[in-house]
A and B are shown apart, each in its own frame.
Chain A
Amino acid sequence: MNFDMQSFFRRDARQEWRVIGITLLLAFLLKQIPWQGWALLLRPDFVLVMLLFWAQRREAGISFGLAFVLGLVTDVQDGVVLGQHALAYCVGIFLVQNFQRRLAMFTLRHQALQIFPLLLLTEIVALVAGWISTRTPQGGWVIASAVTGTLLWWAVAYAGRMPAARTARTE
């Protein structure tokens, strides 16, 4: 832990952004797979989970602009009202950054338990925004994707703790 804190301020910002870019691109590509049936219902929002992960991990967080643009792309690809997911993503990273220090005090499992309501709240923001703007009934399956999203977050956060990931970040 000590080692991590010291190297925190020495790491190369450019390399970190490269890792962030690659993980976000990967998440985006995963979304493009033609999901069907149950897999579609249970599919976590990969991009949102990655955004929340980096928002918690980077001390400076993720900029609202990035979340906004990624949310806009999600809106277009889902064929929903523009701005719906952009709003939700902005709210999501704001919440995570707000609780960043508090989250850091817990073990990974307890962090995941606290990420779940944040993730759920973010998805609900998108649903409510969509419902208010178009008055069409929205699917209630967000709980399922929030659960799988939390599991994915756990896996990603666990991978981020591996020694390899740590040295890659600190050199």
Chain B
Amino acid sequence: MFARAPGPAIRLLMWSALCVMLIVLDARFNALGWLRAGVVAVFYPVQLAVRAPFDLASEVSGFLTRHRALQNENAALRENSLRASAGLARLDSLQAENEELRGLLALRQNMEFGAVTAEILSTPRDPFSQRIMLDKGENFGIAAGQPVVDGTGLVGQVTRAYPFSAEVTLVTDRGHAVPVQIQRTGQRVLVFGAGSAMEVRYLPTHTDIQPGDVLVTSGIDRVYPAGLAVAKVTRVQRPTDSPYARVSCLPTAGVDKSRMLMVLKTPGGVRP
């Protein structure tokens, strides 16, 4: 009766059962981190090797950019730098004043933390999952839970750290919530990812919020340091049939534009 090898349908069932077991172990119990890390480590060199010619090509094409474009860019950068240094001077005086006030209030100083600059290694296949891979990982001290920023604001949070790479979930990912403050009024709200944009939920209709308001991290969750720009309010609707206002925002950071990102090594990194 058992002399014959099992037929294809039976073998498919057996392998499917194994797959389902893996899915359950990974999704429910998060127990397969070691397997993931191993596979990523094995294929990381291959990924780098295949990428190399493309990087080279983009470097060469960048080298051949027209002179005029470079001049324009240079002028724009110069202007930016002037403006930035003026702003920086103002910031310095503000910081000094702030430190004085903090000292007076005997408040705990905001801890200084290190930062790692990393480049985007790849975007996963599904462009709607709002995740990216960075080319640096545990070898540079990156750990799950650390915030990721670019020059203009918060980009996302490290959700998985591998030995040589790290996975970042962007702020625009559905199911990613960031506790923020409306900069103008100081009110604390929650902002959620909504595909390529973001939205503020659970905000009573009478709240003082208007298009153009900037949302910055409030720092009360101990994940994100306070004061990082997160989003700018683009539209406020106050529907009559709902107790909550509908507020749409756009992330201030170039979430899908910037290539170089910075991972902040916050001390109290909390796992997402």
Contact = CB atoms under 8 A, between A and B. Distances in A.
A98 B39 contact: no
A140 to B, nearest CB: 8
A139 B39 contact: no
B19 interface: yes
Contacts of B46: 28-29, 32
A73 interface: yes
A68 interface: yes
A91 to B, nearest CB: 7
Contacts of B125: 40, 43, 78
Interface stretch (A16-24, A128-136, A152-160, A162-170): A128-136
B50 A83 contact: no
A36 to B, nearest CB: 7
Contact of A32 (B8, B25, B51, B167): B51
Interface in A70-110: 71-73, 76-84, 86-87, 90-91, 94, 97-98
Interface stretch (B9-17, B107-115, B148-156): B9-17
* A contact face: mostly helix, strand, loop, or mixed: helix
A82 B127 contact: no
Nearest to B32: A82
* B contact face: mostly helix, strand, loop, or mixed: helix
A98 B51 contact: no
Contact of B36 (A33, A71, A82, A98): A82
A119 to B, nearest CB: 15
Contact of B22 (A29, A43, A61, A83): A83
A61 B7 CA distance: 13
27 contacts: A32-B43, A34-B51, A34-B121, A34-B123, A64-B15, A68-B18, A72-B39, A76-B36, A76-B40, A77-B39, A79-B133, A80-B129, A82-B23, A82-B32, A82-B36, A83-B19, A83-B22, A83-B23, A84-B19, A84-B23, A90-B15, A129-B23, A133-B23, A133-B27, A136-B129, A136-B174, A139-B129
Given A76-B39, A83-B23, 17 more contacts: A32-B50, A32-B51, A33-B50, A33-B51, A41-B127, A72-B35, A79-B167, A80-B129, A81-B23, A82-B23, A84-B19, A86-B19, A91-B12, A136-B174, A139-B126, A139-B127, A141-B127
